[in-house]
Amino acid sequence: MPKSLFLYSDGEVSNFGPLTELHPSADLRCGALTLSEKFLQRLNTPPLHINSLGKKKNIFFHKEHSALLINDRAFISAPSIKDMHDFSDNVKFVSRGKVLAVYLTGERLQATLEAENTGEYRRVWRDLNAIEIQGQLLEYPWQLLELCGAEIIADLTLIEQKDSGVQPTLAADVIVRGVENVRCTGEVSVGPGVIIDVEHNRVRLEAGVKIEAGAVLNASAGPVWLAKEAVVQTGALLSGPIYIGPNSIVRPGARLNGNVTLGPQCRVGGEISNVIIQGYSNKQHSGYLGAAYLGEWINLGAATDNSDLKNNYRPVEVMLNHRKVNSGSLHIGVFLGDYVRTAIGSRLNSGTTVGTCCNIFGVDFPDKTIPPFIWFGSDGYQEYRLDKALQTVEVVMSRRGVELSPQRQEQLTTLFERSAEERMEFLRVKNKQRI
């Protein structure tokens, strides 16, 4: 029976803050892969991404067709994803009372696609048999951080099923313990004095990886995975579980303390612990980044630091959708949207969220919640004009050889307009406080 894969939004208000201002939840990275990539790798089914179920009425499915519809913020265990592919009747897959996915055929599928709203398509599913699976509907950005280390391991296991690589022949001046657990998928360069401790886990080095003299790869607590063309420069220390994405660079002397994921074309230095960076972002210099999730095209100036622990050792609260949410965790850092920039010596408090296209350059701590398109400096807050923001975005993207597409420009324009009321109220309150 032919199958299609839909990744749908259930219409619930996003609690991922600035991370989903320009991206669907399914594009968020957790481990080496994004949520959608995990489904595609395990199901081997081309996806049809949709923002809501009622937007694709021009698609018609005959009674012999079937589809798997997965909530775009669903996190589903690898065994459960595999099992979901084997059903041949209309069912819904649930966890903790929440519907994570449905398998539909014929009329049920068509009725769902033609539904106008969340309530309508849920009524179509109401009497479906429920199958309990291992998973959850993700609600908050810190859940992605909590899952990151285990998901690096799970993603590595998945990728190695398709390409496990071969054991390399390393030069005599490379110190390695457990060489049988080192795997390469192509030619790599490993400099003199490099230390690789891989006795208990794995180190995966993909084609074009370069590890410079004196770097340390410590896989004692989890695997270290360097994707294609990744570079680890002189004296850097990487402690797993860690994933360094394609063409990313770890700067000399950097310290990556585990549970770290870097998407493609990142540049990082200083100290980093329990961090996910979507991609195309810079944290090249000194400074601490911890328990943080960063979007794309971000630049953190030298000596930018964030707190990830309150002085009173109480759980950190985060403002999401205009309400305070108790994270229940002592260690929560910052959540930054795309195109955020900080200047030299910037400081960010625990639980800070910063919207898309914000520029932080003051010496004081900014507010813990900043809407999109805001500048913050010694003279307070002001709006970041859309035309100026787009000019900078174009320059930033061109430095990685990427063109600002009309679609992304339209997204940014829409976000600017959509956030105008929130931004004006924020500025009104802040300017009143300065009087």
Tens digit of each residue's pLDDT (9 = 90 or more) over 178-187: 999 999 999 9
Separation CA 275–CA 71 (nearest Å): 25
C-alpha separations of 302 from 147, 153, 361 in Å: 29, 31, 11
Separation CA 366–CA 363 (nearest Å): 9
Query: 232 has which bridge partners?
Result: 211, 250
Separation CA 112–CA 104 (nearest Å): 9
Q: What are the phi and psi torsion angles at 46 (to 5°)?
A: -60, 135
Q: What is the pLDDT of residue 106?
A: 82
231 CB burial (10 A radius; 0-12, 13-18, 19+): buried
Domains and CATH numbers, the chain: 3-139 (3.90.550.30), 140-240 (no CATH), 281-435 (2.160.10)
Q: What is the pLDDT of residue 60?
A: 47
Tokens of 174: 């490379």
Q: What is the pLDDT of residue 85?
A: 73
Write the CB contacts of 399 (distance below 8 Å, at least 6 apart in sequence). none
Separation CA 100–CA 39 (nearest Å): 13
Tens digit of each residue's pLDDT (9 = 90 or more) over 140-195: 999 999 999 999 999 999 999 999 999 999 999 999 999 999 999 999 999 999 99
C-alpha separations of 342 from 176, 304, 347, 369, 428 in Å: 39, 7, 9, 15, 23
Kindly report whether the peptide bond that precedes residue 366 is cis, defined as omega within 30 degrees of 0: no
Tokens of 117: 């709203």
Residue indicated by tokens 């519809």? 69
Cβ proximity of 276 and 144 under 8 Å: yes
Cβ proximity of 248 and 266 under 8 Å: yes
For the chain, which residues score pLDDT lower than 50? Answer: 1-2, 56-61
| pTM (two decimals) | 0.94
